[in-house]
Amino acid sequence: MDTKLSDQVSRKRYEREQRARIEAKSLLEAKSRELFLVNQELS
Amino acid sequence: MKGTIFVELIKMAEDAFGETVVDDVLENADLENGGSFTTVGNYPCSELIKIVTALSDHSGISPADLQRKFGHWIMDHFVEDYAEMFKGKNNSFEMLEAVDGEIHVEVKKLYPDAELPVFKTDRVADGHLEMIYSSPHPLVEFCHGMIEACLGQFDEAATIDQCPVSGNASATKFEITLEQ
């Protein structure tokens, strides 16, 4: 089994990470907006 | 199912089989999102099963064995990243009894509508805990691995038996008996 990590990563791996980051960012945008609106209702 | 579970499964696979293998496995596993997971996401459990199956096909290790190893792996991750969950717990039974409450918060905080497994515990005798795991998902071996790893965290040894629960096909009872 080749478990040694090389210095470079594959394009596929890079693109998976890229998509994951965008998904996480969208979630943060949506959830922070929800939080803001709920806070406004409270004040 | 929480993204952390997916991210950790992929990390375990990379640790065991290497990045190139994981690239190939994810590419060929016919995943809805191409294998791109974030810890804060929420994904269908069926996708996890697809990855486990693909890793099993690749490695020759049975899905049950992979699930159990993954249970150990993820418990180590919880100890590092959710250390506060373990605070104030004196032994494995206290930890296992707290799982149901902890998991609810961790899952529901971002996904209020998420479906949850249920972990019902009962101390039937000194050194003997029953834990009933109810879930529509086929992750009994994953739970078994986590229970083993939880015992390990507290330097305890026990026998763990799986029993069916009469009248509930989606539940499994773990009989956990400490070795004295």
Give the confidence band of A5 by pLDDT, cuts at 50, 70, 90: low
Mean pLDDT estimate for chain B = 95
Q: Where are the domains of chain B?
A: 3-61, 70-178
Residue A14 has pLDDT above 80, yes or no: yes
- Strands (DSSP E) contained in chain B are 118-125, 128-134, 158-165, 168-178
Which of B16, B35, B41 is opposite residue A27, by nearest beta carbon? B41
Domain B70-178 has CATH 1.10.10.60: no
Cβ pairs A/B, distance under 8 A: 53
Query: What does the block give as tokens for B103?
Result: 């998991």
- Model pLDDT for residues B69-88, shown as the tens digit of each residue: 999 999 999 999 889 989 99
Give the confidence band of A9 by pLDDT, cuts at 50, 70, 90: confident
Quickly count: other Cβ atoms within 10 Å of residue B102's Cβ.
16
Interface predicted TM-score (ipTM) over 0.90: no
Identity of residue B89: K
The reply to whether A4 touches chain B by the CB within 8 Å rule is yes
Q: Which helix (H) or strand (E) holds B59?
A: helix B45-59
pLDDT for res B105: 86
Across the interface, whether the CB atoms of B36 and A19 are under 8 A apart is answered yes
Query: What does the block give as tokens for B29?
Result: 């596993």
pLDDT for res B104: 83
pLDDT for res A4: 58
Across the interface, whether the CB atoms of A24 and B18 are under 8 A apart is answered no
Which of A5, A23, A24 is opposite residue B19, by nearest beta carbon? A5
The reply to whether A19 touches chain B by the CB within 8 Å rule is yes
Task: Give the mean model confidence (pLDDT) for residues B13-26.
Answer: 95
CA distance B122 to B162: 15
